[in-house]
Amino acid sequence: MNILFIADPLESFKIYKDTTFAMMREAQRRGHRISACEPQHMGWQTGSQVAAQVRHVRLTGDAQAWFAADAARPDGPAAIAGFDAVIMRKDPPFDSEYFYATHLLEQAEREGARVFNRPRALRDHPEKLAILEFAQFSGPTLVTRSAADIRRFHAAHQDIILKPLDGMGGMGIFRVKADGLNLGAIIETLNKNGAESVMVQKFLPEIAQGDKRVLVIGGKPVPFSLARIPQGSEVRGNLAAGGLGVAQPLSRRDFEIAEALGPVLASRGLLLAGIDVIGDHVTEINVTSPTCFQEIFDQAGFDVAAMFIDALEAALAAR
């Protein structure tokens, strides 16, 4: 099987923890051939199919020079639909260029490509707003541009978290306690004088036990989560913000959430989703490039990458 990974530059990968690398490694182990490109390398022209400038690679097993060109397949332009599977793994931000990339990939689907996660599903499930559909599993939440609404929410809940809708890795997250210190400045920073929407959530003290990444593959939960535990005085558990990742078995509530959301997400073309859970509450649903495969494998011994490639192979066989 020929698999194309659309991702960030290969040279930027930190392979000791990179989930896309774990997927590639498992795919090659099974005899599948690996290719890669970036969204910027895709294009379309009247009378032709969506194509990209593609690198055909093989993994070397060397921790430094971890990939090499596949001498049997010279790099060059290739139709996206010519691959057996296309794995969209570009990291956020979900900006205009990402949006345009999903439209190119949707055209490639019309030409016969099999894309995971499906481009339309990526557009339809913005990672913070996706929880609106599953409000029964989330804590008190407000999405607004209104400074007055944010102040009323703070007055009601006293201890709140504010964050931009397009952030990743803990970027732009603020906590405001009962004293309201700097609330006005934070609102101005995030909503840009009413020009941009903000998500506000009641602070969940269970964050001290970790922001759990619950992975769902092919509609089924991975039996271990990665709890990302804030360190020191930090309120954010994100690994990119210095959180400590601890693999742990799913709780009964984690399973309840994953088993409720998983089949719904899978039916819409989301082969892989990462549900963020603090305590008993869903805070985000990650669909662009969910991570934590290697941390879970290294600590708990569960091969998440193998589960993912199993699901990919099953999805392709079911066509």
Active-site amino acid positions: 128, 163, 213, 228, 236, 276, 284, 286
- DSSP character at residue 185: H
Rg from Cα positions in the chain: 20
**Residue 158 — left, alpha, or beta (φ > 0 → left; ψ -120 to 50 → alpha)?**
left
- DSSP character at residue 239: G
Helix 183-191 × helix 147-157 angle, to 10°: 140
- DSSP character at residue 309: H
Tokens 């009323």 identify what position?
Answer: 152
Angle (CA) 207-208-211 rounded to 5° is 40
Answer whether 122's CB lies under 8 Å from 159's CB.
no
CA dist 242 and 229 (Å) reads: 9
Listing DSSP states for 18-83 in one string gives -HHHHHHHHHHHTT-EEEEE-GGGEE--TTS--EEEEEEEEE-S-SSS-EEE-TTS--EEEEGGGS
18 residue type, one letter: D
CA dist 249 and 234 (Å) reads: 25
Answer whether 213's CB lies under 8 Å from 291's CB.
yes
Answer whether 162's CB lies under 8 Å from 105's CB.
no
